[in-house]
Amino acid sequence: MELTAENYYSPEANAEYMSVSQFKSFAGTDGKLACEAEAMAELRGEWEMKKTTALMVGSYVDSYFEGTLDDFKKRTPELFTQKGTLKADYKQANRIIERIERDPFFMKCMSGEKQVIMTGELFGSKWKIKMDSYIPNTVIVDLKVMASITKHEWVRDLGPVDFIRYWGYDIQGAVYQEIVRQNTGKKLPFYIAAATKEDETNIEVIHVADNFLRDALSIVEANMPRVLRVKNGEEQPHRCGLCDYCRNTKVLTGPIGILDLLKDV
């Protein structure tokens, strides 16, 4: 299957290729609960992930920098009030864009080829990637819009964790770097170009060093045998019991005990 901008997110493409977001749905990260049952339901077209305002704001900013904002607005009328004006969250997105455009280094990082698609093979599966800003022979850049750059998340057994590893953006960088290497022979650095939704937007360009990417790629390698067995229908998917899909499809077979309420603490 030849991937294009039009079919990249199609059910057929997701069935044939693994992607970072699909992998994280199956395997999870420190900040994203894994649910194999939800991941399989989404692949089969039986479940659709909700479009939260946070994700929509990120998509708004992404579409601006790839030059497709007008089309994005036409496809998403929920951005507007009944009077036809932008809702407050998306007015804020415009302010984030304005802040980014005031910074020459941030804009230099975002000056590469937009939404470049590449494919490759990793750990028994074909993979697809789509890069926000690809500067050949120089760097891979991914744009992130988030609540905070500096806030640390607390993870049991690990302690405070930065937002990059908490949300698995190191996994994204590791896969992108390897797929680009397979296609070009060049091992490029991976940057996160981050901007926040705070009252005063904070911006940073963060180099995710290769030692973090190597660790992340080892996580992918360790999890892929199980992920592929489930995706290929060789093993039954596990239910997390806590996500929207599991709540929606739960079937009670009897009462639980009071200690079961603490089993995930």
Q: pLDDT value at position 195? A: 97
**In this structure, what are the phi and psi dihedrals at residue 221, rounded to the nearest 5 degrees?**
-60, -40
Q: pLDDT value at position 50? A: 86
What the block records as the tokens of 239 is 């239910």
Residue pair 206/164 in contact (Cβ under 8 Å)? The answer is yes
Q: pLDDT value at position 265? A: 55
Spell out the domains of the chain, with CATH numbers in brackets: 11-50+103-262 (3.90.320.10)
User: Residues of the chain whose pLDDT is less than 70?
Assistant: 263-265
CA angle 195, 23, 163 (to 5 degrees): 30
Residue pair 190/130 in contact (Cβ under 8 Å)? The answer is no
Which amino acid does the sequence have at 225?
A: P
pLDDT in tens, 8-32: 999 999 999 999 999 999 999 998 8
What the block records as the tokens of 150 is 């500096």
Residue pair 183/133 in contact (Cβ under 8 Å)? The answer is no
